[in-house]
Amino acid sequence: EMRENKKESEKTERLKRVQEERWKREIQKIDLIKIEEKNMRKEALRKMEEENLKRQKEKENEEAKRKMREEAQKQKEEKRREKMERAALLNMEIKKMQEEKIEKMKIKTMKQQELLRKQQEFQRKKAEQKRIEEEELRCRVTEKIREEDAKKKEEYMIRRMEEMKKYERLAIENERKKE
């Protein structure tokens, strides 16, 4: 009986140890799961912090880019304004020079116009003189041509008359011969 009790006791003891081992393993599993969950939470927190830092950096970069763009835009506007001011000054200077040039041109033009008017008057007088001379020449030539034509006509008429007299004589002679 004692042996049986001892066996029973050992068996119970073994079962107890096995049970304890199982519980230890279970507890270890639970501890591992807890540690794993803790690590996962830490990892998740770390990732969230990284994301937050990343977003923060992106915001800072965007802000820096925006500031740079604004600064570039301001500089561009400033340059454009300075360029416009220079252009306005240059335009004023050009306009002044053009006005001076126009005034000089007016004076020069007036002198040229006076000279041109004198030249034209001279040319007109010269042309009038030439026209008169050509007209006189034309009249003389026309008169000569008329005279020559009249002379030729007269000569022609004389020849015709002579020919007619000749024909009359011939006709008279022919008449006499027939008689």
Mean pLDDT of the chain: 94
Spatial distance between the Cα atoms of 13 and 167, rounded to a whole number of angstroms: 194
pLDDT (mean) for 110-114: 93
Overall residue count recorded for the chain in this entry: 179
pTM: 0.34
pLDDT tens digits, residue range 67-88? 999 999 999 999 999 999 999 9
Tell me, rounded to whole angstroms, the distance of Cα 116 from its chain centroid.
Answer: 42
What tokens were used for 39? Answer: 């690590």
More confident residue, 9 or 45: 45
pLDDT (mean) for 16-41: 94
Rg of the chain (C-alpha set)? 69
Residue 62: what pLDDT? Answer: 96
Residue 75: what pLDDT? Answer: 96
3-state secondary structure the chain: CHHHHHHHHHHHHHHHHHHHHHHHHHHHHHHHHHHHHHHHHHHHHHHHHHHHHHHHHHHHHHHHHHHHHHHHHHHHHHHHHHHHHHHHHHHHHHHHHHHHHHHHHHHHHHHHHHHHHHHHHHHHHHHHHHHHHHHHHHHHHHHHHHHHHHHHHHHHHHHHHHHHHHHHHHHHHHHHHHC
pLDDT tens digits, residue range 142-179? 999 999 999 999 999 999 999 999 999 999 999 888 87
